[in-house]
């Protein structure tokens, strides 16, 4: 937190243009992208991801399968209801059907990220195409796209996803991510459309038009670079929403069944009454991991907000 | 006073109807994309998971008659839409002679009650926190503490629900683990019943409040920063008005208006969160109904519940959208835009 405050303080004084800090603008480290919140958040997420990726090299992930380990062992240093103590062979304990918690978490965490990334990327891709078409072409294209966004944006995605997953029963990671993306394109579309509309009237776009740049060039060379902070923020928000939806489905027991996911682990724990049996490591570890993940995503999002909106930087002191 | 132009009103109503029609259609099409007769398939799946179903033939017959499954597909679709309009979703498959609408009728008041209560508290508290984050007269210690409270707001409702359940119900035994009221109390308008409902509702409501107030706080903070820079605030300060008077009458009242639009957009997420909270706490609302239906493969109930939740969300958003010009007279809606 102190990092964040220092950065924003430095930025604020630079903004206010006090004499002793006016030179700050020439310092290449004095860039809004060195935002404390952004860096902390990205650090948390990277740490979790790296742990997931390196962990599977050093730990035997075969232990994530049913019956590969003794049942209901607590993590090292704790004791379960039957008085068994944790062993180093299973440092984070095991669950009801003999899966090693460490292996489950190592496999499940990247899966959860993957769903978020695929869904957010697909949603954003649709959003960029539709938002640009809507804002740039206008006319009936704009009308149809806006109508489609307005009609679908208020539908609670979880309710439709529940119906779909209940019919499909067997669902894999990518299918689930794409289904979620079907409810993740409206916000990016609206955002990009409004930005494109305001940019269309700006001097440099008119200039480019006058100098005979093609529509594609104007879209991707003139406008898109200016949208990057917004797109970044929109991607993170999309990923957060997608992971939220995925965790929701998984904890209802509607997620992928063949691969471990964090939400699926929580579902297994709840259905086996892990709460009442005081097996806190079973549901608690995935919960804490997910919470950390979301805190990281929130910090990144807040940081990007401050980068895109200098007014927030001034006030964050 | 703002007025709603006819063009806007019709467009908004049209969008509402389209939303409901689209949702209803998607819910209808999905099970029919799966191969085979949906009703027999459902009953078969239930039989497979439950071992034996007592009146399977009666169920299949009842359904075929009600939904005219021997008729052409388009007629079935029209029948289904007509059923949706009259809230008639047929029979529950898991508890056969009961109508889906009866089950929903029992569950809905709990969901709406909990949601209204939690959302009202969240909205007031969140906006209050957001406002004092910007207000220059807020004690420094409070400003320093708020960011820690906001950490909760990023985590999904379901995780907060699990943590609260574990700490307050399991470890401390301060609150009940599941249900909406104690078993021994007769439901009715008695103090005993009201007390047990509040007692059971505290943790679920707290889970929703804890994770969503920050959303309002952050939005409010952004708006307050914009308002703070306005000339009329400077004038009010120069006039020597009391700081609290400026905060409430000049800043909050202007900053809170766009939050109402944000509220309409956030409703879908709020509802989804609440569904999951109900499932964790075994709260007898729509969330538990859906979860039980998923477990028993009761597709009729899943379909009906999803439809009702989508419908109610859309109605709530419609009301907020149409009320907005009356709340904020600065908004002028152009017809057809």
Does position A6 have pLDDT exceeding 50, yes or no? no
* Tokens 């709603």 sit on residue: B4
Enumerate the β-bridge partners of residue A79.
A85
- Residue B294: CB partners within 8 Å, gap ≥ 6? A162, A166, A252, A253, A254, B302
Euclidean distance between CA atoms A207 and A213, whole angstroms: 9
In this complex, which of B18, B163, B309 lies closest to A159 when CB atoms are compared? B309
**Shortest CA gap A167–chain B (Å):** 6
Instruction: Tell me whether residue B247 is in a domain.
Output: yes
Chain A: closest CA distance from residue B189 (Å): 33
What's the CA gap between A279 and A274, in Å, rounded? Answer: 5
Q: What integer best gives the mean pLDDT of chain A? A: 79
In a domain, B335, yes or no: no
Does the residue B298 lie in any domain? no
Q: If 0-12 CB within 10 Å is exposed, 13-18 middle and 19+ buried, where does residue B49 land?
A: exposed
Where in the sequence is the domain holding B113, given as residue range(s)? 106-285
Query: Which of A12, A143, A158 best probes binding to B when mutated, by most B CB atoms within 10 angstroms?
Result: A158
8 Å CB contact of A315 and B268: no
**Nearest chain B residue to A244, by CA:** B156
pLDDT at B45: 65
How many domains does chain B fold into?
1
At B46-96, the pLDDT tens digits run 666 666 666 677 777 776 666 656 677 788 888 888 888 888 887 777 776
* B192-207 b/e (C-beta count within 10 Å ≥ 16 → b): eeeebbeebbebbbbb
Q: What is the CATH number of the domain that holds B164?
A: 1.10.3720.10
Query: What part of B 168-227 touches A (C-beta under 8 Å)?
Result: 170, 177, 218, 221-222, 225-226
Q: Is B96 strand, coil or helix? A: coil
- Here the tokens at position B331 are 């908004």
- Identify whether the C-beta of residue A269 lies closer than 8 Å to the C-beta of residue A283: yes
Lowest-pLDDT choice from B38-52, B183-197, B285-299? B38-52
Alpha-carbon distances of B141 from A169, A197, A317, B147, rounded to whole Å: 51, 43, 13, 11
| pTM for this predicted structure | 0.80
- CB-based contact, B312 to chain A, within 8 Å: no
- Contact flag A248-B165 (C-beta cutoff 8 Å): no
Is residue B275, in this structure, part of any structural domain at all? yes
The answer to whether residue B317 neighbours chain A at the CB level (below 8 Å) is: yes
Instruction: Report the chain B residue with the minimal C-alpha distance to residue A302.
Output: B218
Q: DSSP code of A94?
A: B
Q: What class, spelled out in words, does domain A36-315 have in CATH?
A: mainly alpha
What pLDDT digit, counting tens, does each position of B262-315 carry?
787 778 778 888 888 888 888 888 888 888 888 877 888 888 899 998 998 899
Instruction: Indicate the domain borders of chain A.
Output: 36-315
Could you tell me if B258 and B137 are in contact, meaning their C-beta atoms sit under 8 angstroms apart? no
CB B276 to CB A252 under 8 A?
A: yes
Asked whether the predicted pLDDT for residue B1 surpasses 60, the reply is no
Q: Report pLDDT digits (tens) over B308-334.
A: 989 988 998 888 888 877 777 766 555
Nearest to B154 among A278, A297, A309 (CB): A297
Q: How far is CA A122 from CA A34, A126, A231, B173, B243, in A?
A: 28, 6, 13, 45, 48
Q: Nearest CA to B213 among B279, B153, B132?
A: B153
Closest CA to B331 of B279, B254, B266: B254
Q: Nearest C-alpha of chain A: how many angstroms from B297?
A: 8
d(CA B4, CA B286): 34
ipTM of the complex: 0.78
Whether B198 shows a pLDDT value over 90: the answer reads no
pLDDT at A236 over 60: yes
Please provide the average confidence, as pLDDT, over all residues in chain B: 80
In sequence order, what DSSP letters do the residues of A282-304 get, joined into one string? HHHHHHHHHHHHHHHHHHHHHHH
Contact A70, A94 (CB under 8 A): yes
């Amino acid at each position: 937190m102190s990092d964040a405050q220092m950065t924003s303080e430095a930025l604020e004084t630079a903004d206010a243009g006090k004499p002793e800090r006016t030179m700050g603008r020439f310092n290449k480290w004095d860039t809004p992208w060195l935002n404390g919140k952004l860096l902390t958040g990205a650090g948390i997420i990277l740490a979790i991801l790296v742990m997931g990726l390196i962990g599977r090299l050093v730990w035997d992930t075969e232990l994530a399968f049913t019956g590969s380990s003794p049942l209901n062992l607590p993590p090292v240093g704790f004791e379960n209801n039957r008085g068994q103590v944790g062993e180093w062979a299973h440092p984070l304990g095991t669950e009801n059907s003999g899966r090693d918690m460490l292996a489950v978490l190592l496999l499940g965490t990247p899966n959860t990220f993957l769903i978020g990334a695929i869904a957010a990327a697909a949603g954003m891709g649709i959003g960029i195409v539709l938002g640009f078409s809507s804002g740039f072409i206008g006319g009936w294209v704009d009308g149809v796209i806006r109508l489609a966004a307005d009609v679908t944006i208020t539908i609670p995605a979880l309710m439709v996803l529940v119906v779909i997953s209940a019919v499909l029963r067997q669902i894999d990671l990518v299918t689930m991510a794409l289904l979620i993306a079907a409810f993740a394109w409206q916000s990016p579309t609206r955002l990009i459309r409004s930005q494109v509309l305001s940019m269309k009237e700006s001097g440099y776009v008119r200039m480019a038009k006058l100098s005979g740049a093609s529509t594609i060039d104007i879209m991707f060379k003139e406008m898109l670079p200016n949208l990057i902070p917004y797109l970044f923020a929109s991607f993170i928000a999309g990923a957060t929403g997608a992971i939220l939806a995925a965790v929701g489905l998984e904890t209802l027991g509607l997620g992928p069944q063949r691969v471990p996911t964090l939400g699926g682990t929580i579902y297994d724990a709840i259905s086996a009454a892990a709460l009442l049996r005081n097996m806190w490591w079973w549901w608690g570890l995935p919960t804490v991991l997910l919470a950390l993940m979301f805190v990281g995503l929130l910090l990144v999002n807040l940081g990007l907000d401050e980068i895109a909106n200098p007014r927030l930087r001034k006030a964050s002191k | 006073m703002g007025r709603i132009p006819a063009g806007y009103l019709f467009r908004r109503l049209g969008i509402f109807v389209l939303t409901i029609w689209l949702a209803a259609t998607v819910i209808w099409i999905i099970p029919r994309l799966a191969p085979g007769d949906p009703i027999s398939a459902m009953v078969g799946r239930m039989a497979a998971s439950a071992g034996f179903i007592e009146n399977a033939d009666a169920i299949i017959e009842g359904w075929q008659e009600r939904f005219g499954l021997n008729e052409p597909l388009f007629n079935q679709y029209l029948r289904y839409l007509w059923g949706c309009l009259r809230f008639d979703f047929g029979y529950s498959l898991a508890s056969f002679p009961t109508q889906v609408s009866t089950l929903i009728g029992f569950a809905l008041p709990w969901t709406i009650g909990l949601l209204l209560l939690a959302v009202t508290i969240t909205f007031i508290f969140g906006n209050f926190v957001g406002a004092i984050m910007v207000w220059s007269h807020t004690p420094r210690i409070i400003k320093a503490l708020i960011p820690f409270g906001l950490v909760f707001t990023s985590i999904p409702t379901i995780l907060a629900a699990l943590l609260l359940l574990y700490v307050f119900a399991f470890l401390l035994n301060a609150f009940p683990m599941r249900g909406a009221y104690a078993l021994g109390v007769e439901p009715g308008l008695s103090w005993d019943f009201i007390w047990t409902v509040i007692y059971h509702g505290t943790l679920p409501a707290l889970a929703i409040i804890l994770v969503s107030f920050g959303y309002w706080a952050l939005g409010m903070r952004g708006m307050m920063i914009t308002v703070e820079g306005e000339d009329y605030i400077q004038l009010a300060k120069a006039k020597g008005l009391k700081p609290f008077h400026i905060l409430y009458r000049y800043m909050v009242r202007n900053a809170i208006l766009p939050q109402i639009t944000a509220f309409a957009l956030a409703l879908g997420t709020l509802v989804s969160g609440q569904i999951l909270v109900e499932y964790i706490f075994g709260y007898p609302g729509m969330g538990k109904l859906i979860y039980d239906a998923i477990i028993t493969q009761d597709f009729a109930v899943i379909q009906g519940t999803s439809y009702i939740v989508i419908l109610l969300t859309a109605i709530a958003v419609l009301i907020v959208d149409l009320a907005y010009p009356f709340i904020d007279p600065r908004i002028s809606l152009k017809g057809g835009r």
